Structures are given as C-alpha cells and as structure tokens.
C-alpha cells in the first residue's frame, strides 16, 4: 500500500513548534495523529469550513482508510453537488 503524501499545507503550530500536516483526498483535507491516551490513532476530516468528522482507529493504516471512507460518504450525500472539471 502506497503511503499518502502530505499536502503542501503543513504549518508550524504557534505554541509547540510541531507541524500540522494535512493530507488530501478528493479535494478534502484530513490528518491522522498518534494518541497516547487512549492509545491508537485519531483521524480528522475537514469536509467544509464548519464541518468535520473525527474518529479513532487502532493503526495508522486503518485511520487513513476510515478518514477516506468518511470523505467518500460525505461526497455520496444526495443533493450535494460534486466538484470536478466535468461539473464545472
């Protein structure tokens, strides 16, 4: 399985100096990060400016998979216009 490459929107966080790297799938940004308590991986999908979906997974690979599934489900909502060159 090919590892996703981070989108160029990696920014240094102002307080800790850590980098927040978002990946992109079908025009939506998402990120995964390892959690200590509870153990596992958290995924966050940014669907719109004010709408996000989050979840926890046991592995990084499953977190990426679940984030992509959340994006797919959001794009399959009836009545939502698909973005793309064929609709533009």
- Which pair of tokens denotes residue 45? 């999908």
3-state secondary structure of 12: strand
Range of the domain at 51: 25-75
Q: Tell me if 48 is assigned to some domain.
A: yes
Q: Tell me if 66 is assigned to some domain.
A: yes
Q: Is the pLDDT reported for residue 36 higher than 80?
A: yes
pLDDT tens figures, 66-80: 999 999 999 887 765
Which pTM was predicted?
A: 0.65
Q: Tell me if 87 is assigned to some domain.
A: no
Question: How many structural domains does the chain have?
Answer: 1
Q: Tell me if 68 is assigned to some domain.
A: yes
Contacts of 7-16 with CB under 8 Å at 24 or more apart are none
Q: Tell me if 82 is assigned to some domain.
A: no
Q: Tell me if 1 is assigned to some domain.
A: no
């Amino acid at each position: 399985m090919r590892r996703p490459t981070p989108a160029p929107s990696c920014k240094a966080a102002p307080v800790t100096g850590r980098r927040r790297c978002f990946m992109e799938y079908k025009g939506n940004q998402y990120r995964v990060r390892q959690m200590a308590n509870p153990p596992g991986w958290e995924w966050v999908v940014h669907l719109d400016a004010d709408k996000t979906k989050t979840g926890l997974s046991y592995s990084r690979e499953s977190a990426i998979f679940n984030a992509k599934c959340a994006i797919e489900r959001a794009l399959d909502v009836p009545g939502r216009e698909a973005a793309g060159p064929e609709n533009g």
